[in-house]
Amino acid sequence: MDALMIGVSGMRGTIGRTLGPDTVLRMAGAFARYLHQQHQPKNGTHFRVVFGRDSRPSGQFVRDAAVAGLTASGVEVIDLGIVTTPGVAMMVQHTGADAGVIATASHNPIQWNGLKFLNAQAIAPPPEAAGQIRALFDENKPEYVAVEKLIPASSNSQTHALHVKRVLDYVDVLGISTKRFKVVVDSVNGAGCVTSATLLSKLGCQLVHLNNTPDGHFPHEPEPTQANLTQLASEVKRQKAHVGFAQDPDADRLAIVDENGVYIGEEYSLALCAKYMMSRKPGVAVANLSSSRMLDDIAAAHGSSVVRTCVGEANVVQGMLASGAVIGGEGNGGVIDTRIVPGRDSLVGMAYVLQLMADTGLSLSQLVGQIPRYTIVKTKFECRREDAQKVVEALKGEFAHERVDTQDGIRIDWDRAWVHARPSNTEPIMRIIAEAPEPVLAERRIAEVQAVVKRVLG
């Protein structure tokens, strides 16, 4: 796919095709206009924005174009350099900034880049605000200021150290260090290289660090899926390591490989961290409607509960803040502890998994074996948003006798399975996700939903 995508997660495009300096400048100007139209600066005089980027080779020109657009609009920019997405979110709070901007395309391949926006609460703007930013981008009428209102950009190099310190504040450093865990990490030459090495060093780990040069030249497809992590799995076995961790380029997602070199899946990142947190402090966990039921099983075992939200990191964070949750996240390897960062954070995931291993004395495979196992099946089809709503209404009628949640498309729960059907926020498609203990049951539930889709759409 070669397109410029603009949605609730910001903007992404392909370098040399849909994303060039002119497009970045235009979007930065639109974001500055949005700030001036919809908000008041915290300092009473001008807006301050922290800016970070992942390690992609295109990141330098994306940064330069974005900083030019913001500065020309009278916004003060604090350049953080190559840092993680959770690091930028942390620095929004630490510096008292009005917003944050990250040059990243998350797990997309090297030819992609983009801009992700964070509001003053260090979370992605809600859909209404994202729509306003998109409208200003389409209007393309930047409001640049006179020379006397220009504020020079500055730089700040504190992000890595502060991020590591925040994570260490919430784990038993000595308890983990005495175990001398051997850990293999694949940072995919992304933004997580520096912080991961520092964190694990301070936790007394024997670190084998793969792809640890933050130059953005990804040695494999950067999404941390099983097919892309064969090197990590092999190295864990060769090194006889206790665990293997994999990050995506901006280090907000975490995948895990056990001591046998077995990829256990991104869903387990949140499940294992919830197991640790609830063993220390039972309470509410928050996850989106498409995340595994493993979380419900863990919560029930610890006298805790689960709140489900619409898909989207910002929705999970808002749900956590509203419920006072002890842990939250998404099934894509996104672990969230709002005390540290109000967003997905692979460093939090690594630290909490190591803490769980240290507390229990169990291997990763043993810990995974304690959690009920499920199979998730995913499919999608082209569908206009108005047609997706017709599908949702039909599914509500068809499965009215089951437990139904319609806050984001429709999720249907049975005793041993669930299906979530929802329109994409960024593409004209509808996704159907099912989970059950056995693949055949998950496939059957998807087929039941697809039969309704066929009847409605033909």
Closest listed residue to residue 144, CA positions, set 43, 64, 75: 75
Q: How many CB atoms lie within 10 A of CB 107?
A: 23
For 391, residues 6+ apart whose C-beta sits below 8 A from its C-beta are 383, 421, 430, 452, 453, 456, 457
Q: Cα–Cα distance between 80 and 234 in angstroms, integer?
A: 35
* Residue 234 is among the residues annotated as catalytic for this protein: no
| pLDDT tens across the length of the chain (458 residues) | 568 999 887 999 999 999 999 999 999 999 999 999 999 999 999 999 999 999 999 999 999 999 999 999 999 999 999 999 999 999 999 999 999 999 999 999 999 999 999 999 999 998 899 999 999 999 999 999 999 999 999 999 999 999 999 999 999 999 999 999 999 999 999 999 999 999 999 999 999 999 999 999 999 999 999 999 999 999 999 999 999 999 999 999 999 999 999 999 899 999 999 999 999 999 999 999 999 999 999 999 999 999 999 999 999 999 999 999 999 999 999 999 999 999 999 999 999 999 999 999 999 999 999 999 999 999 999 998 899 999 999 999 999 999 999 999 999 999 999 999 999 876 789 999 999 999 999 999 999 999 999 999 98
Record the pTM: 0.96
Tell me the three state secondary structure of residue 269. Answer: helix
* Paired strand residues for 49: 77, 99
- Residue 152, class by beta-carbon neighbours within 10 Å (0-12 exposed, 13-18 middle, 19+ buried)? exposed
Which domains are seen in the chain, by residue range?
Answer: 5-157 (3.40.120.10), 162-369 (3.40.120.10), 375-457 (3.30.310.50)
Q: Cα–Cα distance between 114 and 27 in angstroms, integer?
A: 10
Report which DSSP code applies to 15: B
Q: Which of 9, 73, 106, 269 is catalytic?
A: 106
